[in-house]
Each structure stands twice: as C-alpha cells, then as structure tokens.
Amino acid sequence: MSDIFFLQTGGTIDKDYPQGETDRGYEFQIGKPAFLSILERVGLDRWTFDGLLQKDSLDMTDEDRQKVLDSVRSTTLDKVVITHGTDTIHKTAETLSAVKGKTVVLTGAMLPEKFKDSDADFNLGMAVCAVRNLPHGIYIALYGEVKLWNEFKLSNASDAQEN
C-alpha cells in the first residue's frame, strides 16, 4: 500500500549530461526521476510515482503548472513530494496553494543527483520526513530548511553556500 505520491517535473535534480557525437556532454537532458535511485538506495517502500514532466523549470509554462495541480488533485494519497527546478519552484508552489487536504512538499537540488557532491539525497530525505510529519499545506524543502511555500526565501541557497 502506497503512502507517498512522488511527482517528477524535471529540474536540475534530474539532469543528465550524456556525451554524444555532437554535444560532448555540454548539453543536458532530463533523465529518469532522481528519486527512483535515491529511494532504491535507502530501501524506502510504500510509494507510487508519476514522471509527469521532464523540463527545466525555466521552461515550465502555466499549462505545465496546471498539469501538476491536476495531478496532485487527482491522486487519492494525501502526501505528495514533487521534484522541481529551484528557479521557478515558487511559481508552482503558488499554483498548488489552491490544494486543500494534502501535504505537498516541493524539493530540488543545486546539482544533479548523478553528481558526487549533489544535495539531492539530503533534500529528498528532508522532503520525505516533512511530508510524513507536517500538517496539510504546501511546503518547500531545500538547503536544510522546510517552510511553507510563501515563507521560504530562495536567498537561502546563497546563504548556505557562504557557510
């Protein structure tokens, strides 16, 4: 029985830099959801997922955000973790603020999960803990903090890098 619904939208957390004949690894593509390999490594079970979007968050449109909203509303589960790009995470969170009766946590990473020094594992771990323990609402989990979406400031990323 599932208790958490994971939703992929893309973003840096899911980026891959394959080397091809023309791009020599300089162009990215959105790969499989990062949470799949992270959850497998830690042995977390009781979850389902949807690979809804595979986009850089700067490329997300209002229509894409509506798809995310529709997906969150349509799941019967009341615990949702969304992997997302950090550049426009607030826009999607604002769209999701219309959701009632669910705990939704958006997270992402400064570096792709595939990179050795990525913050993806840490951020996803915070998101899982938050979605299981916080009351209903829309939250962002990044940089060692979990806050309601409208209280989270992305400036925390530069503050965290300075310390």
Domain that holds residue 94: 4-162
SS3 127: helix
The phi and psi torsions of 135 (rounded to 5 degrees) equal -70, 170
For the chain, how many structural domains are there in total? 1
* The pLDDT of residue 107: 94
Whether 37 contacts 26, CB under 8 Å = no
* The pLDDT of residue 89: 94
Handedness of CA 5, 10, 12, 17 (dihedral sign): positive
pLDDT digit string (tens) for 67-125? Answer: 999 999 999 999 999 999 888 999 999 999 999 999 999 999 887 776 678 888 889 88
pLDDT digit string (tens) for 19-59? Answer: 555 555 555 566 666 766 666 666 666 666 756 777 877 88
Which residues touch 143 (CB under 8 Å, ≥6 apart)? 119, 123, 156, 157, 159, 160
Q: The CATH number of the domain where 140 resides is what?
A: 3.40.50.1170
pLDDT band at 162, cuts 50/70/90? very low
Which residues touch 58 (CB under 8 Å, ≥6 apart)? 85, 87, 88
pLDDT band at 11, cuts 50/70/90? confident
**Burial of 21 (C-beta count, 10 Å sphere; 0-12/13-18/19+):** exposed
Q: Which residues of 33-59 are buried (b: 16+ CB within 10 A; e: fewer)?
A: bbbbebbeeeeeeebebbbbbbbbbee
CA distance 49 to 6: 4
Whether 33 contacts 49, CB under 8 Å = yes
Query: Does pLDDT of 2 surpass 70?
Result: no
User: What radius of gyration do the chain's Cα atoms show?
Assistant: 15
Whether 82 contacts 7, CB under 8 Å = yes
* The pLDDT of residue 113: 72
